[in-house]
Structure 1
Amino acid sequence: MKPPLRIAVLECDTPLDQTRHKYGGYGGVFKALLEAGAIALNDPRLSSLPHHGLELTNFDVVNAEQYPSLDDIDAILLTGSRQNAFDNHPWIVKLVEFTRKVLEEQERVRVIGVCFGHQIVGRALGMKVDRSYAGWEISVTPMELTDRGMEIFKVDGKTMSLHQMHRDIILEYPDDVEKLGSSPRCFVQGMYKKNKVIAVQGHPEFNQDIVTELLNSRHHVGVFDDIMFKDGMDRVGKNHDGVVVSQAFLRFLLDD
């Protein structure tokens, strides 16, 4: 794919106050992530262009049900959400159908999914999404990579860590994707299909401040009990590989 990379960010939720004040929305959070990835990647195809070769546009698919014209973009990026990807709210059904259309009918437009977005991609590919019997997976968490996962993310070891914030999972991998990794609480941590889709269950776009705000909010309203909250807070400042995943997203878009 030739830069600039025209990426439509499908915003599937609104951040909490502190994060919204800093970034404006999840489109802003992903802008920061992808720019950091472009700088770290240092690919001349991107670094020689204004704005790191990135052209991001944001679409509110929840309230406004806005979607891009596929003729005007190179990729869609589906964000996380507090909602359940297996629900049948009209906006979620519409999102699944749009994603399925891109996956099945488009040879050119590529798909990136993150957390809820990852699950929507799985649902669009015909997989069941449901609650994990193991419960919540939160804060910085290691995952075990497959050999293909090590190649895609370009890491030397068998593990990689990302922020997690979910209790829903794709129950099994679709047949026609490559498996990238797993964790004890989530078998389907990442999937890949060349020139078509890359999706991860974790949150490469999250950082310590964003996750701390989420942990505090969900502890305050009783979603997380004291033990779970403390466990998450103990790990929230650990190193994570968000920028590594961002670079993989960009390589996925740049590959011919």
Structure 2
Amino acid sequence: MEAKAPLRIAILEAGYPPERAAAKYGNYGSIFASFLEASVAKIATPEFPGLEVTKWDVQKLEQYPSLDDIDAVLISGSASSSFDNTPWIIELVEFTRMILIEQTRVRIIGICFGHQIVARALGAKVDRNAQGWEASVVPMQLSPLGKRLFNGRDTLNLYQMHRDIVTELPEGVQLLGSTPVCEIHGMYAPKRLITVQGHPEFNSDIVSEILGLRKSLGIISQDMFEEMMSRVNNKHDGLEAGVAVLEFLNE
């Protein structure tokens, strides 16, 4: 049997890991490349195509791939707010909208900030969450569709690190899951897009460092820090989410 051509995934780096995490794991492109390869290894089907990952700094360098050279884009998380109108965010929204509106071959994966950018590109509102931060491992209650896509489970435990949310489901997409403080935790449209508000690519090292930095800057309180850290080593279903993402790409 002839081997399938590799899936060409462009990682759009919309932010940068904290210092210790970057030294240990690399930039977000490297973190996602390792995460996707580990997800491929978890797939039982040996015929699953390989991956060809490229990395594009869309924040500082405003680099973008040619759609002719890729099969999918993955938009990373970011410390920036998805509803800001800084030039690089506007350009990212327009690039995402172009993929969603002007063609049907290249697919989109949105992670946290990327999830919000996809919603914004589709005309939905993104905003600060009045209920505040959601961080560390949080169980997401899956919708009926989410249960089907995530291997029949009822909940998906993912690392979270956000206080911005998608406030309304865009037209033409389906909900994957919710938490008590964030109704729209994932979106899906067959052969077009899949997003999650959480961070399946994160681990306890990365989350612990980010929480420590945010406490030191006064962004979260000591009490919030301690409560979030109490969950940082809870069961995390990142690779299960990764398998669902890869199966979406292979639909």
> TM-score, normalising length from structure 1?
0.95
- Does the CA-based 8 Å contact 1:86-1:129 persist in structure 2? yes
2:83 is the alignment partner of 1:69: no
1:141 equivalenced with 2:138 (yes/no): yes
SS at match of 1:103: helix
Report the Cα offset of residue 16 of structure 1.
0.7
Runs (4+) of structure 1 exceeding 3 A deviation are none
- Could you say which residue in structure 2 is the equivalent of 1:24? 26
Q: Could you state the TM-score of these two structures normalised by the residue count of structure 2?
A: 0.97
Q: How many Å apart are 1:43 and its aligned residue?
A: 2.2
User: Which amino acid letter does the alignment assign opposite residue 183 of structure 1?
Assistant: T
Which residue type is aligned with residue 142 of structure 1?
P
Within the candidate set 75, 81, 84, 1:84 is matched to 81
State the partner residue of 2:240.
Answer: 244
Q: Secondary structure at the match of 2:47?
A: helix
Report which of the two has the higher share of helix: 1
- Could you tell me which amino acid in structure 2 is paired with residue 123 of structure 1? R
Amino acid at match of 1:21: A
2:36 maps to amino acid = L
Aligned partner of 2:179 among 159, 183, 189:
183
Structure 2 unmatched runs, 5+: none
Choose the corresponding residue for 1:172, options 165, 168, 171. Answer: 168
Over the aligned positions, Cα root-mean-square deviation in angstroms equals 0.9
Cα shift at 1:23: 2.1
Q: Secondary structure at the match of 1:155?
A: coil
Q: Which amino acid aligns with 1:26?
A: Y
Paired with 2:128 and 2:157, the residues of 1 have a C-alpha distance of 22
- The equivalent residue for 1:130 is 127
Q: How many angstroms apart in 1 are the aligned matches of 2:57 and 2:212? A: 26
Cα distance per residue 1:104-157 (max 9 Å; x no partner)? 11211000000000000000010000001110000000111111000111133x
- 1:14-53 correspondence runs (5 A): 14-46=16-48, 53=50
Question: What residue ranges of structure 1 are gaps of 5+ in the alignment?
Answer: none
Which AA in structure 1 matches 2:220? F
**How many residues of Structure 1 are paired with residues of Structure 2 in the alignment?**
248
Letter in 1 for 2:238: G
Aligned to 2:211: 215
CA displacement 1:69-98 (0-9 Å, x = unmatched): 000000000000000000000000000000
Letter of the 2:51 partner, please give it. L
